[in-house]
Amino acid sequence: MPTDVLGRIRELLRSAGIAFREIQHAPTRTSEESARARGEELKVGGKALVLKVDGTFRPFVLSAARQLDSGAIVTLHPSARLSEIFAA
């Protein structure tokens, strides 16, 4: 099994019989730029955010066409403070 993260993801997808494709493009700063570089609609992509919630860094993945709903995070993690979330 590969030791690099990308290699492990590829192997996991292949072993599960999941079809996928990889697209190489120049670095981009926004989801919109990434969609244009891929030649796809914005809703096809995803964005991964790492936020500090309750003193712990947590990953959040959402559609590239959506914006972060900080209120939903506070609902899921009532002790979280918005200043903590956006300081991550």
The torsion angles phi and psi of 41, rounded to 5 degrees, stand at -70, 150
In the chain, what are the domain boundaries? 1-40, 45-88
33-55 average pLDDT score: 87
Secondary structure of 29-71 as H, E, C letters: CCHHHHHHHHCCCHHHCEEEEEEEECCEEEEEEEECCCCCCHH
Q: Report, as an integer, the average pLDDT of 18-46.
A: 92
Identify the band that residue 51 occupies on the pLDDT scale cut at 50, 70 and 90: confident
Instruction: Answer yes or no: is pLDDT of 87 > 70.
Output: no
